[in-house]
């Protein structure tokens, strides 16, 4: 019986994401034994979720996909910067009275064409990243939902097999941001036991995953939903060069 199971959150056309393979569950004896009255267990579901090898695997895959989109974004931004410089140069020459009227008129025409092209690219880039952002977040939430269900089912099976009457989630918070479980006997915390069982056979993968994120992992807690960088809107007549959103 699980109380206060916090919905763990959580940026696509993500190649390489296979179907989630259910974790090996502890075998419950046939004719599950009755729970021992008053036998309580505790688990930090956030810790278990973040420490699960499949969570680390999916986070790494999303980061790789996000990095691909960001590279595309940076390439597109560099192209827009180049067009902007060309447009400004043409605009400046169109105003230079030292040049012949024919040359000035041609530069004015070129400036208008490049300005139109800039606007089109700005709109296309914005539409592209808005679409990818929605796709990434949707896929991210789907996979997170599958993992949460998988972990919950595993815990329920474990609790039944070991005759727990109640298992409480110590990572949960009330609406007033107060811990749902104010105090508990840490010796009854099942988090490490369950993580060891869940990650059995994947210990090397976990070590490598942790080493990979160590240089940039300053924050703790669940990984946020991936956000694809989106170009900023730009005032006429010159669309601003898009800047990536904060990650």
For 140-193, give the secondary structure using H, E and C.
Answer: HHHHHHHHHHHHHHHHHHHHHHCCCCEEEECCCECCCCCECCCCCCHHHECHHH
Whether the pLDDT of residue 244 is over 60: the answer is: no
Q: Token digits for 100?
A: 């012949």
pLDDT at residue number 95: 95
Give the Cα separation of 57 and 96 in Å (integer): 59
pLDDT at residue number 119: 93
User: Any idea where the domains of the chain sit in the sequence?
Assistant: 2-8+35-213
Whether the pLDDT of residue 108 is over 90: the answer is: yes
Q: Token digits for 188?
A: 């009854």
pLDDT in tens, 72-84: 989 999 999 999 9
Give the Cα separation of 43 and 198 in Å (integer): 14
Whether the pLDDT of residue 216 is over 50: the answer is: no
pLDDT at residue number 23: 47
Q: pLDDT > 90: what percent of the chain?
A: 51
pLDDT at residue number 185: 87
pLDDT at residue number 48: 94
Return the SS3 of 124.
helix
Q: What is the mean pLDDT of the chain?
A: 78
pTM over 0.85: no
pLDDT at residue number 236: 39
Least confident range of 59-63, 146-150, 175-179, 213-217: 213-217
Q: Name the most confidently modeled range: 159-163, 180-184, 211-215.
A: 159-163
b/e string for 166-183 if b means 16 or more Cβ within 10 A? ebbbbbbeeeeeeeeeee
| Domain 2-8+35-213, architecture per CATH | 2-Layer Sandwich (3.30)
pLDDT bin (cut points 50, 70, 90) of residue 110 is very high
Instruction: Identify which has the larger pLDDT, 77 or 11.
Output: 77
Whether the pLDDT of residue 101 is over 60: the answer is: yes
């Amino acid at each position: 019986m699980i109380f206060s199971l916090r919905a763990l959150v959580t940026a696509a056309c993500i190649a390489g994401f296979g179907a989630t393979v259910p974790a090996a569950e502890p075998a419950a004896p046939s004719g599950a034994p009755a729970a021992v009255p008053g036998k309580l267990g505790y688990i930090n579901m956030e810790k278990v979720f973040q420490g699960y090898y499949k969570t680390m695997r999916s986070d790494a895959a999303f980061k790789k996909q996000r990095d691909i989109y960001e590279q595309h974004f940076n390439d597109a931004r560099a192209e827009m910067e180049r067009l902007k410089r060309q447009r400004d140069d043409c605009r400046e020459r169109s105003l230079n009275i030292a040049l012949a009227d024919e040359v000035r008129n041609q530069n004015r025409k070129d400036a208008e064409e490049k300005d139109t092209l800039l606007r089109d690219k700005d709109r296309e880039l914005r539409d592209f990243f808005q679409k990818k952002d929605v796709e990434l977040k949707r896929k991210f939430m789907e996979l997170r939902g599958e993992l949460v269900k998988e972990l919950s089912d595993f815990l329920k099976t474990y609790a039944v097999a070991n005759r727990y009457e109640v298992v409480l989630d110590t990572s949960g918070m009330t609406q007033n941001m107060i811990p749902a479980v104010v105090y508990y006997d840490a010796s009854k915390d099942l988090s490490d036991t369950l993580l060891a069982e869940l990650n059995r056979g994947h210990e090397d993968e976990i070590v490598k995953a942790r080493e990979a994120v160590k240089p940039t992992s300053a924050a703790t807690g669940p990984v946020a939903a991936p956000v694809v960088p989106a170009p900023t809107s730009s005032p006429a007549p010159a669309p601003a060069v898009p800047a990536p959103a904060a990650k």
